[in-house]
Structure 1
Amino acid sequence: MPTIAFVVFDGFHVMALAAQPVFSFANRKYGQPFYDTLTLSENGAPVQPVDGPAVMTEPFGNQTFDTVIFAGGDPTDVPSSRGLLEFVRHSASTARRVASICTGAFVLGEAGLLDGRRVTTHWIYARALSKRYPEARVEADRIYVIDGPVWTSAGMTAGIDLALAMVEADLGTDLARAVAQTLVVSHRRAGGQSQHSALLEIDAKSDRIQSALTYAKKHLAQSLSVEQLAEVARLSPRQFSRAFRAETGQSPAKAVERLRLEAARLMLERSRHSVEQIAQQTGFADSRRMREAFTRAFGQPPQAIRRNGRAAVA
């Protein structure tokens, strides 16, 4: 029976354990026990998460497991005890799969497991992960990434997607879909799906600013000057700029660039248009400017985004 071991430590985020029921419901849908799950820590004592009551755990011991999943915590204070890092490396050499949820990728990185591998984490911490472990190939906008035996996922709820992908790999698409329906998840998200939408994240409070954002998304190929957007919002350019920053926390130009980046990234992954064509259709004017914007935002040029997106689909 495959054992799924979740590894936690003081200060971990308890939402990482939201992936555990995926395996329990897989057992029910399978009709008999297939997975065994347990929660581990270095010493086996109750472990205090950052956002909930203490969690009972078992010690590492000398056991081996089919799959070991490491929870995330504060990436500025990555746990690096000798016992934990030895267990990470031991798991990498004995388990079929080693995985991380959210900033758990930093734990894998601390043990040297990310070198040369495609990985992801919560988009907020992707740059920090890349800077701290420069040998890792961080893909900042993925729900989860599978590179051989190492699986990494984005923010907390992405751990559910990761677990569903494991169930699908083990027991098939139909059973994974049934588990997703039971958990009131419409269906598992593909690993290459964007972690977030720029339009949803830019939180406009008034109809006028929201109408300008909607207009911008529909007309990305145009110049989209402040004057043009202000006219849509029926405000003067000065009033519009002030109101836009007050509501969204950023300038109109920055918001438009983010909308263009998202549109261009989706076209790279889903279409056969050339980089130059995509740059023109999304308002970057030319491929050089789009490449510079992609490197600033994602740490990768458009060609790498396209290559990684196609690899994820494959």
Structure 2
Amino acid sequence: MLKNVAVALVDGVTPFEFGIFCEVFGIDRGDQGLPVYDFAVCAAEEGPLTMADVGFTITPPFGLERLEEADLICLPADRRAPVRDDYPEPFLDVLRRAVDRGARVLSVCSGAFVLGAAGLLDGRRCTTHWLHAPALIRRYPAALVDPDVLYVDEGPVITAAGTASGIDACLHVVRQAHGAEVANTIARRMVVPPHRDGGQAQYIQRPLPRTACDTVGEVIGWTARHLDEEITVEQLAERAHMSPRTFARRFLQETGTTPYQWVLRQRVLLAQELLESTDDTVDAIAGRSGFGNAAALRHHFLRTLGTTPNAFRRAFRGPRAVA
């Protein structure tokens, strides 16, 4: 049962992600019959601690000793995390002991770097903000980083993606501990959906990759301009003056994916852009993005992003959205 929740703060903590934990676990909603947590804000290093980019500091009333009794330890984003490598070892030890004794740890955004420093991401699937995912992969190669999801629950270690996905992860924890009705009631109080469709993939902006090979780079640029046409590996190989087999191998080396998967992803990205910026029907967008028909677009959109074209359009255009 989840009763004791502690938030561990480091210097440079971001206020929104910190506020998510306070909102979900720190507010007494006992008058509504909701769980009341023994909630504490703890300093993971000597303070006063700076709140990133907003010009004020915070001096938590508790230290590391309070984390030792928590059922759940929450780690907000740390603005310096992608470049920081000096987290206090006593803090990392507390996190390791927490997992060993059966407690859970939950990070939001770049808070995952703290878990990585503690070795708690090794061999575990995890996530972070899509902007920080490459850095997390480089620094902790044993971590199984998935940059496309809103959150990952790997037993005692829960990681959420950027910013608002921390709400999704916290409601997930509440739902597991107390049931859907409690989580839904808290979500209504917060005026947020109790569950969001899709994953982080629908928010990622991916420019054309830079490649070390000018030939493949030229072909990539040409392909991005002709996504509405039929494209085959044989056609691309011919433009690159290579055999299809050599081209496919070179493409994989330079982009990290196959020509087919790359073209498919670029078509989904183009469809996202058109859904956001035009009033074209889904059928018309399917043609412009190379899917041919609305059924094919819906299939690949759902498979790639975990949501439908119409749901995506409503999410990003609101009442202006057309079917």
TM range (shorter): 0.5 to 0.7
User: In the alignment, residue 65 of structure 2 is paired with which amino acid?
Assistant: G
Partner of 1:71: 76
Partner of 2:119: 112
Q: 1:109 offset after TM fit, Å?
A: 0.5
Q: 1:27 offset after TM fit, Å?
A: 3.5
Check conservation: 1:64, 1:94, Cα contact below 8 A: no
Q: 1:72 offset after TM fit, Å?
A: 2.0
User: In the alignment, residue 15 of structure 1 is paired with which amino acid?
Assistant: F
Per mean C-alpha deviation after superposition, the further-off stretch among 33-42 and 255-264 is: 255-264
Per mean C-alpha deviation after superposition, the further-off stretch among 31-40 and 1-10 is: 31-40
Check conservation: 1:105, 1:152, Cα contact below 8 A: yes
**Number of residues of Structure 1 aligned to a counterpart in Structure 2:** 228
Q: Residues 168 and 29 of structure 1: is their aligned pair in 2 closer, same or farther, counting only changes over 3 Å? A: farther
Partner of 1:56: 59
SS at 2:132 equivalent: helix
Q: Residues 112 and 43 of structure 1: is their aligned pair in 2 closer, same or farther, counting only changes over 3 Å? A: closer
Partner of 1:103: 110
Check conservation: 1:197, 1:262, Cα contact below 8 A: no
User: In the alignment, residue 4 of structure 1 is paired with which amino acid?
Assistant: V
Per mean C-alpha deviation after superposition, the further-off stretch among 173-182 and 27-36 is: 27-36
Partner of 1:8: 9
User: In the alignment, residue 3 of structure 2 is paired with which amino acid?
Assistant: P
Partner of 2:158: 151
Question: How far apart, CA to CA, are the structure 1 residues paired with 2:191 and 2:137?
Answer: 34
Please, what TM-score do these two structures have when normalized by structure 2? 0.61
Question: How far apart, CA to CA, are the structure 2 residues paired with 1:176 and 1:111?
Answer: 30
Write the deviation string for residues 89-114 of structure 1: whole angstroms up to 9, x where unpaired.
12222242111110111110011000
Correspondence 1:27-42 to 2 at 5 A:
27-28=29-30, 31=33, 33-42=35-44
Unaligned 5+ runs, structure 1: 203-218, 225-254, 266-280, 285-301, 310-314
Question: How far apart, CA to CA, are the structure 2 residues paired with 1:156 and 1:98?
Answer: 17
Check conservation: 1:14, 1:51, Cα contact below 8 A: no
Indicate the RMSD between aligned Cα atoms, in angstroms.
3.7
SS at 1:167 equivalent: helix
Check conservation: 2:17, 2:77, Cα contact below 8 A: yes
User: In the alignment, residue 38 of structure 2 is paired with which amino acid?
Assistant: D
Q: Residues 168 and 220 of structure 1: is their aligned pair in 2 closer, same or farther, counting only changes over 3 Å? A: farther
Please, what TM-score do these two structures have when normalized by structure 1? 0.62
Larger RCO: Structure 1 or Structure 2 (Cα < 8 Å, ≥ 6 residues apart)? 1
